[in-house]
Amino acid sequence: MVLANTYHLYLRPGIAVVEQMGGLHKFMAWDRAILTDSGGYQIFSLASLRKVNDDGVIFRSHIDGSQHLITPELAIQFQEALGADIIMALDECPAYNDSSEKVQKAVSRTYQWADRCQRAQKRNDQALYAIVQGGVSPQLRHQSAECLTSLGFSGYAIGGLSIGEPKKETLSMTEVTVALLPENKPRYLMGVGSPDDIIEAIARGVDIFDSALPTRVARNGAFFTPSGRVNIRNAGYSRIEQPIDPDCNCYTCRTFSAAYLHHLFSCNELLAYRLATIHNLNFINNLMSEARSTILNDTFSSFKDNFLLSYQPTDEKTRLSQKQKWLKSRRPSR
């Protein structure tokens, strides 16, 4: 599935342009599934450029500073025009360090907006998902899930995680929230893309993930391997004739040596970023495929244990530091 970003499409090229071109599937020549987010997280990440009230979100474009309004009704209208297969209700995503009062307000507002989104939906060929909020409070997660499941959506997302909190809390709140959601509806953990986090979340009952992580780290020379991330920029790769992962079946590993990839990144060649992206997306696709097959043959538990035993995750301090830098880069000053 491809995730398309409503906020960015709204600003460029414009919802009307995509609709006139026949919707996202035709516009981007993609005949498989597409999910559009509501734009809520992007607006959240532009903290200095937006104001939230019960009606919706007033924000300024990060491109030209022009002012815009998105309401729950408009979020649905835009996504129906884009024509994705799965669309998301507008929600309010509180920051990790927000007060309990702010998180409670976000939970209440998210429920009110979800109800309005559901009432605004006109197309019956799109699956509308609601987003559970609640920060790292089990009580607020329970309240949010209870309210949203009472409305009967096609699927449920777990939002407000992987935004700077320790991994232990991410997994804890995931486990708490999944237990509150219907077993016969898809459960979608938003913003999680690290291979070890994906496997841990699958073990807790999550079905769908999205993240820019595989492509973001690829642009910085990091390649996923069964033993963890490796940095192709390191001088040790400059004379390695083998591929970065000899057991990988992707185009990059079938065709090029680690030494060539090191050379491309050293020269800042654009091809470097594409080859690294191909590899990382292939790694994630293979990981998900293997997880599905082991679930079906009832061997997922041993697959999980073996994977986590060999995969060395990024250390927590570095992970949180990288996340904070990324979040800061997403919040331009006035």
Residues with a known catalytic role: 37, 210
Q: Residue 35 pairs with which residues in a beta bridge?
A: 3, 86
Instruction: Produce one character per residue of 230-260: b if its CB has 16 or more CB atoms within 10 Å, e if not.
Output: bebeeeebeeeeebbbeebebebbeebbbbb
| 244 φ, ψ (degrees, to nearest 5) | -60, -35
- DSSP, res 48: G
Six-digit token string for 131: 């987003």
d(CA 190, CA 157): 7
d(CA 2, CA 18): 16
Residue pointed to by tokens 């297969």:
85
d(CA 255, CA 181): 44
The length of the chain is: 334
Six-digit token string for 97: 């360090």
DSSP assignment of 205-232, as one string? T--EEE-SHHHHHHHTTEEEETTEEEET
Q: Are strands 86-88 and 127-132 parallel, antiparallel or unpaired?
A: parallel
DSSP assignment of 247-286, as one string? T--SHHHHH--HHHHHHHHHTT-HHHHHHHHHHHHHHHHH
